[in-house]
A and B are shown apart, each in its own frame.
Chain A
């Protein structure tokens, strides 16, 4: 009892510490401006302070998260704490309430754990940058908001975190704002996210109007009071929010552009944490989504198609960060398929393992880019340090990085016993299980039966797994194997990652190796099965059962599914080895133009052009021509305002003709008027 009371008094510290770090580092970053100096590189003394603050708050937050995890692991399932009133008006009341339960603490561990590693990595990666303090300020800001997102006890507090991470993302993507393209990418991310936020806001309005409260507790308990079409509407609007934040079709377009930011940012925000907020939201509101099978089926469909779409584009990207970006979109699609099918545990499992190996991939890519950049700079070349056509055979110069990235590649391709295999298999098996027999399969999305959708999702999942293996292996082959394509002078200047960059990679590699043990399937005698499912059971199991039913796969079926999954992954890797010809590659500058399907894939199906021409340009030109020039300046100002002034001018010029200037006419007027007036009075009095 006393442990939980102390815990509830202290949980506010977890998001507060990173915010303090933001304020401290932010003020430190403004010190040169305050003093009127201009610096090109932060002095090392200040860097130490900034790093200490930035990394320090993360480690303390991590420690607190671990402690809170132990607090909720027993019989006490959730700890809440209300910090006071936020908004009160009429019947509407929302407090600053935080809540730690098994789901949120899982997210908190991922955020603070992987986040701390990335902070440490950043100390090395950003050491030469003038904006060192500003970077760490933004990074801490992000973590603070993300923690608020997962710890909020009601939707508005979650929404602060939700939009706040969008803000931090905007600031970090456009970190090197000297280049317009970076600032544009940041703005694009924020605006597209906002489209999703529109959906989340409407879901909140509908919920409040019908339930009178926005607390997660109340929503979960009382959602049965709402009719199914209403719940479906709420879920679809919420999913719109998730699609914006977690980059699902068609709102994923900001994620590839977001690679303009520093690579650790991509690792933290666009792989491990911010983009997973959508999954968290759905699992948090599992009670709602499981009561709306139509919405869940929509999520499955969108997730599946996103996974397929993004994987296909990843096959033809040459920038290593872009490959990873599309890979993230694709893997997020998998997670949505899982939570859409009601397999909440599987979705969260993949979220956690994906955080490990994707962060590892991004950080490794960052090390590669860092080294390539330095090497090219030293050789006075200006080639693209991120394009894999300029690389090759880096395994010789960067063995540690290469080995660790191979671990991650095998994980994402789904090779046992790495974490990625277990999580991907969990998802695919869950989908197949539900496709065979479940209440979800019995329901339908319009005329399409749920069973068809689930089997389609399963099939797409397998094809995507194949493509994932192919493009990841392609990435590794072209980057780390074969011959180096940018010349010997550059090659000798390439060095492996220094210790400050390498240590987080090693930790993540270890997590990737053992992460699968979080949720082992029953059929494999590797250890205690279903640990994560048990952990999340109080939150997700009843809702999951609504969609999944009580049937279970037989052991034979499970083995078959596992076998298919491994076969597909292995086939993908093999295909990549057989069909790809790294020796035929030339550097980016000398590369031939793409054509045919390759051209379409390399340009992401020309989606960006389509949106720019089909959506943005018409809106802007309508605004300019019709609304501004046409209505504002034209109709309202010229016609109505100037026009009415003109009317007065005309009337007055007509009327002034009566003032001829002849005194005689004035006298006549006076006389006639006087006679008329007197006449009226006389006649009246006479009557």
Chain B
């Protein structure tokens, strides 16, 4: 069978496989580089990695600009026996996340100074490239087997990055992370096998076809949906499956924390679980449970963030709260709330990612970021202070920053469906201001802990440059989110309509007639 290269629109067909191939094969290239602990070798590995990531970013930007709306896709035959094809696709839902991943990974590598990674540098950078390939694969995959492979592929580099290049508790944090995620993935594997055998193949097209024309029974759909949902929600750290996240983000290197802020779990929920099991997803009880979990996440995450002993954990719990908004938006399932959920996903990546990198810069100077050892930093580091306050406010959803756009759309879109839950979630807005500003105050304001004895350097030119990108994104997306939102419109609309239409075919029992499937 000859390979089929399909491209819709004017995208050159090679961009998509290159986007996956450059980091993947690049990681093998870096792996082969010389590995002594000398400065020169570490430097070489770092430079090669940066070059490869720049190439990835350029490809992602090319994709972004060439696909204004609609879809780009390539297709190769792969494993015939499972009905799997190597199919990659980029549409309005995945494109922002693809660009986000590429840029975030590049900035994270740039933010890590040369000096902090000397121990096995080549492995470190190779793992980073592998991680990038894994995450991009998740967003690009248009075949369920490929999706699952990349899902698992993401785990391995993260485990090593957290365990080996993190703090002393990194190994334990990494182990917890892997066990948690594996548990979910196992359930998902069962569901993948079930649905692949039901549909006779694993490409999204075949699966969607099955969901529309030959839908499964409601009980089967509910089981499969729960399996998928548990995997995705564990990965995204929704309450109550969240305790791995604060440990992993605090004990691991900043780059791992940034990567964990890219919400692949909720992406999977939206793009896979909903279209494939529409009747289960739109079942009133399921919607209510998911929405309630989202609101619990917002409130619980915000309240616990109030009492954390160091800034990194505060931001971790803040991202759990953001996730609550995403889940609320997805479960309400209107075009406005789903768009809002996607915007929150992108924004959470930007703001929490930026914050983690900033805190990483602080840690390099001080070695310790517990609140009791910090204070009064704004006097000596005004640029750091400015950026920190801006990030904190973006996290809290200040209008004019990107955080507001997403949260507002989620809340206003979900209000007709769940008015009381939205009211509760809006309380989270108050709490966000409280815990973020309190954290900022303990770090930046007041007298310094040792009376100005230590001289702190403010952000260097490199660090300022990196932070400027984040600042520009935060303010730019806050004032002019139109490029992002317009790109999503069509895909979100077709997703929502599609799921609603397929769900209508399987009778959902109303609560009054006793729930006969």
Contact = CB atoms under 8 A, between A and B. Distances in A.
B54 interface: no
Contacts of A162: 399
A187 interface: yes
Contacts of B340: 89
B412 A204 contact: yes
A33 B303 contact: no
Interface stretch (A175-183, A355-363, A548-556): A175-183
B112 interface: no
B413 A620 contact: no
26 contacts: A30-B382, A87-B409, A90-B334, A90-B336, A90-B339, A91-B335, A92-B336, A92-B409, A92-B412, A163-B398, A167-B393, A178-B445, A179-B446, A180-B445, A184-B441, A187-B434, A187-B437, A187-B441, A191-B434, A195-B430, A204-B412, A208-B412, A209-B416, A620-B307, A624-B306, A641-B243
B73 to A, nearest CB: 25
B426 A194 contact: no
B406 to A, nearest CB: 10
A29 B441 CA distance: 20
Interface stretch (B254-262, B271-279, B481-489): B481-489
Contacts of A26: 386
B154 interface: no
B409 A85 contact: no
Interface size class of B (residues with CB under 8 A): 35 or more
B411, B415, B419 — which one has the most chain A CB atoms within 10 A of its CB? Answer: B415
B220 interface: no
Interface of A: 26, 29-30, 33-34, 36, 38, 84-92, 156, 159-160, 162-164, 167, 170-171, 174, 177-180, 182-184, 187, 190-191, 194-195, 197-198, 201-202, 204-206, 208-209, 619-620, 622-624, 627-628, 631-632, 636-637, 640-641, 645
B303, B445, B458 — which one has the most chain A CB atoms within 10 A of its CB? Answer: B445
B399 A159 contact: yes
Given A209-B415, A641-B176, A636 B240 contact: yes
Nearest to B247: A637
Contacts of B70: none
A86 B399 CA distance: 12
A183 B481 CA distance: 32
A159 B480 CA distance: 16
Interface string B480-501: 1110011011001100000000
Contacts of A190: 433, 437
A177 B336 contact: no
A205 B335 contact: no
Nearest to B410: A89
Given A160-B400, A179-B447, A198-B429, 6 more contacts: A38-B380, A164-B400, A171-B389, A180-B447, A205-B422, A632-B304
B412 A167 contact: no
Nearest to A210: B416
Nearest to A195: B430
- Return the 5 tightest CB-CB contacts between A and B, nearest first: A90-B335, A183-B445, A89-B339, A180-B446, A177-B445
Nearest to A206: B415
Contacts of A38: 380
Given A194-B429, A194-B430, A627 B415 contact: no
Contact of A156 (B308, B399, B437): B399
A208 B414 CA distance: 12
A84 B485 CA distance: 14
A177 B306 contact: no
Interface in B269-305: 300, 303-304
B405, B416, B446 — which one has the most chain A CB atoms within 10 A of its CB? Answer: B446
A167 to B, nearest CB: 6
Given A30-B383, A86-B482, A163 B399 contact: yes
B486 A36 contact: no
B4 to A, nearest CB: 35
B269 to A, nearest CB: 19
B378 A177 contact: yes
A594 to B, nearest CB: 29
Contact of A627 (B242, B303, B416): B303
A645 B422 CA distance: 37
A627 B433 contact: no
Nearest to A182: B445
Interface in B68-127: none
Nearest to B427: A198
Interface string B169-180: 000000010011
A183 B386 contact: no
A92 B329 CA distance: 14
B444 A177 contact: yes
B376 interface: yes
B408 interface: yes
A164 B335 contact: no
Contacts of A85: 482
Interface of B: 176, 179-180, 240, 242-243, 300, 303-304, 306-308, 334-336, 339-340, 376, 378-383, 386, 389, 393, 398-400, 405, 408-409, 411-413, 415-416, 419, 422-423, 426-427, 429-430, 433-434, 437-438, 441, 444-447, 458, 479-482, 485-486, 488-489, 492-493
Given A30-B386, A87-B409, A204-B412, A620 B429 contact: no
B380 to A, nearest CB: 8
A89 B441 contact: no
User: What secondary structure prevails in chain A residues at the interface with B?
Assistant: helix
A160 to B, nearest CB: 4
Contact of A164 (B399, B441, B489): B399
B379 to A, nearest CB: 7
Contacts of B488: 89
A89 B489 contact: yes
A628 B307 contact: yes
A178 B379 contact: yes
A177 B438 CA distance: 13
Contacts of A86: 479-482
A174 B438 CA distance: 13
Contact of A619 (B303, B308, B433): B303
Contact of B412 (A171, A182, A205, A627): A205
A38 B243 CA distance: 43
A146 to B, nearest CB: 14
A202 B424 CA distance: 10
A171 B385 CA distance: 12
A91, A627, A637 — which one has the most chain B CB atoms within 10 A of its CB? Answer: A627
A87 B485 CA distance: 7
A89 B409 contact: yes
Contacts of B430: 191, 194-195, 197-198
Nearest to B428: A198
A622 B243 contact: no
Contacts of B422: 202, 205
Given A90-B335, A164-B400, A198 B426 contact: yes
A33, A85, A159 — which one has the most chain B CB atoms within 10 A of its CB? Answer: A33
Contacts of B427: 198
Contacts of B433: 190-191, 194
A201 B422 CA distance: 10
B408 A87 contact: yes
A26 B385 CA distance: 13
Contacts of B405: 87
A84 B482 contact: yes
Nearest to A38: B380
A159 B179 CA distance: 44
A632 B243 contact: yes
A162 B416 CA distance: 25
B401 to A, nearest CB: 10
Given A30-B383, A33-B458, A90 B493 contact: yes
Contacts of A204: 412
A34 B399 contact: no
A499 B481 CA distance: 47
B413 A92 contact: yes
A87 B347 CA distance: 15
Contacts of A191: 430, 433-434, 437
